[in-house]
Homo-oligomer: A and B are copies of this chain.
């Protein structure tokens, strides 16, 4: 029998789960729609059935000892999901308490970016690091910050919102979903680079294969592929995205002096089109004492199933620290 953790990643569309051992090996995994049922209670009933059906396959070899959950707006301190704009459950959802009615064991919750950071520490490229930052590039820009080997939650569980630092202050810049203008994620995210492509298509007369794609149809993956084929607009869009991110990461370094900053999510597939300008512009904007010291790295978790790994890593990490949630 080996100890395993159930990792659950609740996304806006799908929920993925898996049973992972301490080395990050997934023994069995599954997926369902996050929109199952009308209420969170309906959803959890279906989730539990699916999870136990899968667990039956490994019950002779696996001992389930804990549950880790990553979810948008998941609050580590309160165990609740708070007003997540991309989920249909509104208000404050006491997810940890609800899950404990099914699982009589420790249950831990955090948001997806924090889970990614813990995943990096437990399974990924930060195994031997005590001070690092993970930037997740998806629809928005999330971040998880680790200081002295511990995740930074702040006094209310809401720390790590680097996506909402301001590129432009004084009310200038792009409209953000949060209601303000100029937030970093309006420039640096899958959505942000789409906006940059459209700005460049408007401002220039260069040929681009992206001129034939509507805003709604355009994806970050298309921009990545276009850049790899030499499309100037796509390359310039990555250059601009990397420049804005690099500049703002210089501020992050001035606060935290991390050993490394990991980039996580689909945009990372653009490789040097993204990493080169991020590194160049971060270095250019760093105070001299930090120059040449901070690594910009792709996530060591790879690109598949990483959110479930992060959720499982959260629980492994907490249980090894002796937390009892």
The CA of A285 and the CA of B160, in the complex, are separated in Å by 16
A180 is an interface residue with CB less than 8 A from chain B: yes
The CA of A165 and the CA of B162, in the complex, are separated in Å by 14
Choose among B145, B150, B287, B289 the residue that contacts A255 (Cβ–Cβ < 8 A): B145
For residues 285 through 304 of chain A, which have their beta carbon under 8 Å from a beta carbon of chain B?
Answer: 285, 287-290, 293
A156 is an interface residue with CB less than 8 A from chain B: yes
Contact between B158 and A148, CB atoms less than 8 A apart? no
Residue picked from A147, A167, A250, most chain B C-beta under 10 Å: A147
Mask: chain A, 164-193; 1 = CB below 8 Å from B; 0 = not: 111101100000001110010000000000
9 further A-B contacts with Cβ under 8 Å, apart from A147-B154, A165-B250, A183-B287, are A130-B155, A132-B155, A148-B148, A154-B256, A154-B258, A158-B289, A159-B256, A165-B255, A180-B287
Q: How far is the CB of A186 from chain B (nearest CB, A)?
A: 13
A257 is an interface residue with CB less than 8 A from chain B: yes
| Interface range, A side | 35 or more
Q: How far is the CB of A71 from chain B (nearest CB, A)?
A: 15
Q: How far is the CB of A34 from chain B (nearest CB, A)?
A: 22
A145: chain B residues within 8 A (beta carbon)? 255-256
The CA of A252 and the CA of B160, in the complex, are separated in Å by 10
* Closest chain B residue, CB of each to CB of A158: B257
Contact between B154 and A131, CB atoms less than 8 A apart? yes
A254 is an interface residue with CB less than 8 A from chain B: yes
Q: How far is the CB of A247 from chain B (nearest CB, A)?
A: 5
Residue ranges of A at the interface with B (Cβ–Cβ < 8 Å): 82, 129-132, 145, 147-148, 150, 152-162, 164-167, 169-170, 178-180, 183, 247, 250-252, 254-259, 285, 287-290, 293
The CA of A247 and the CA of B180, in the complex, are separated in Å by 13
* Closest chain B residue, CB of each to CB of A178: B287
A156: chain B residues within 8 A (beta carbon)? 257, 293
Q: How far is the CB of A121 from chain B (nearest CB, A)?
A: 14
Choose among B150, B157, B255 the residue that contacts A256 (Cβ–Cβ < 8 A): B255
Choose among B130, B148, B161, B254 the residue that contacts A164 (Cβ–Cβ < 8 A): B254
Q: How far is the CB of A171 from chain B (nearest CB, A)?
A: 9
The CA of A170 and the CA of B154, in the complex, are separated in Å by 30
Contact between A166 and B251, CB atoms less than 8 A apart? yes
Residue picked from A150, A155, A158, A170, most chain B C-beta under 10 Å: A155
Contact between A159 and B251, CB atoms less than 8 A apart? no
